[in-house]
Amino acid sequence: MMQFPDLDVRMNAVGAKAVRLVGVFNLLAISKKWRLLGGMMSIVAASLSACSSTPPQALPATSVPGRWQYATASVAADAVSQQWWRGFGSDELDQLLTRAQRDSFDVQAAAARVEQAVAQARIAGAPLLPELNLGVNASRQDYLDSHRNADGSSHTVALAASYEVDFWGRNRALRDRARYLLQSSRHDLDTVQLTLTSGVARLYLQVLGLAERLSIAELNVANASRVLDVVEARYRAGAATALEVAQQRGLLASQQRTLETLRQQLADGKTALAVLIGLPPAELVIGGQGLQGVQTPQITPGLPAQLLVRRPDIARAEAALAAADANTLAARAAMLPRVQLTGSLGLGGEQWSDMLAHPIYSVAAALTAPVFNAGRLAAGRDLALAQRTELLQNYRAAIVAAFGDVETALNAVQAIEQQRRWQSEELAQAERAFRLAETRYRAGADTLLTMLDAQRTWYSAQDQAVQLTLANLQGRVALFKALGGGWQLTPASAS
């Protein structure tokens, strides 16, 4: 985990630095102006204790559980890798994710934000070095009256340098803030990529599940049509009533309606998947692989403490908090005097050939201290402290939310596994009951109502089996995402 600057220690050292600076001015007291500066610094040093008010609170200790509440041991479980989706054994999913990572507009926008943060970090670090400016000027002045002449030619070349002595660490704090914000933007990019990959995997599995449910619905519509033919034949033979015909036709119409609903949902799922990848919906092609061809990966969640370095959103919140610490230090330093050094070297003359004859240089030092600003600087310090408090709570909330995400995903995977065991028995018995009811109805040993009820139960069990299979796979996607998707906070990503 990254370390935060000790603002209290740094700000307490401000008074000592001021006293040393007063001593320097006293040693240089060879003129009235240096003695005047020394007196000004003495006044400033006496007021520094008021400027360095209560420092920001330290990063609190985080309560980490010793184990996961809903974790179950798995002999075939593997650690989460950055290409976790390969555990589903789908080449098509792998191709879609490769294309999504390349073409996603969200990822490209997040990458652009990283480039912006890089530029901001360079801008923030620039004041730590002197600034040089070169100026060249040539002018000509003369009368419009041709009878009078004026030698108004001048040529100058000047090199000017300026530098603010970062005595209180304000510029360094602003540079550190920009660097922490750069870290935050990089972690934000990692979060966007993790959200993208998990979103594509979830939608892809949903499309496969809807396609499989659609196939089951089509088979059940065909089966309902076959049963309707039997009922109508029995009606024509006088062995069935008009009520039985109407009931079977109503069941067939209901299944046709369900069929159209699934077709709409499948089309919407494909559209959502295409948009997430960054493709026009018409260009997305999904093969005929069903959920039965997708493997079920086994996952080990590891220790809860490891989650703190495996979630990019936690690292992002921590970097933002570190940036707030640096911003607080800069806001406090803004309340202290500023020392500006300037110097210039110039060449000038009426002719270019005379420029080297009389070079001119100047050196100056300026000390400015805030005296009255209607509380603006103090309000800026209070604003920085309040923002730091907000980000501290966001950081703590991100940790708690991360633990909650993992527990929810683990509970879902465990619960769905249990449901699938019972549902498989439910499906087998529902099919057996329908076959028996159909045979008994053909033989006239049972009513149509019994067969229709068995038929609806069988169809519902088939559809529920697909939904549970889908929920099981999507639950593992959610668990991969909750565990950080194989992301790891390294010294390189934290620096």
Taking only the tens place, the pLDDT of each residue in 104-114 is 999 999 999 99
The predicted pLDDT at position 73 comes to: 53
pLDDT in tens, 3-35: 434 444 444 444 444 444 444 444 344 344 444
Whether residue 449 is predicted with pLDDT greater than 90 in this model: the reply is no
Q: Does residue 213 carry a pLDDT above 70?
A: yes
Query: What's the pLDDT band for 302 if we cut at 50, 70, 90?
Result: confident
**Higher-confidence position of 79 and 392:** 392
Give the model's confidence band at 64: pLDDT under 50 very low, under 70 low, under 90 confident, else very high: confident
Mean pLDDT of 142-147: 63
pLDDT tens digits, 402-418: 999 999 999 999 999 99
The crossing angle, in degrees rounded to 10, of helices 376-442 and 448-482 is: 150
State the average pLDDT over residues 389-413: 93
Residue 268 is predicted with a pLDDT of: 96
Structure tokens at 172: 């360094």
413: amino acid identity, one letter = V
Least confident piece of the model among 179-188, 305-314, 342-351: 342-351
pLDDT at 291 over 50: yes
Instruction: State pLDDT tens for residues 364-385.
Output: 999 888 988 899 999 999 999 9
Strand duo 154-165 + 360-368: pairing: unpaired
Please give the biggest Cα pair distance in the chain.
133
User: How large is the average pLDDT for residues 250-276?
Assistant: 94
The residues near 337 (Cβ < 8 Å, ≥ 6 apart) are 40, 41, 44, 167, 367, 368, 369, 370
CA–CA separation, 434 vs 217, rounded Å?
Answer: 16
Report the distance separating Cα 437 and Cα 291, nearest Å.
30
Percentage of residues in the chain with pLDDT exceeding 90? 51
Pick the more confident residue, 368 or 357. Answer: 368
**pLDDT reading at 253 higher than 70:** yes
- Mean residue pLDDT of the chain comes to 83
Q: How far apart are the first and last CA of the chain?
A: 10
Residues 6+ apart with CB under 8 A from 247: 448, 449, 452
Do 253 and 245 touch, CB atoms closer than 8 A?
no
Whether the predicted pLDDT of 455 surpasses 90: no
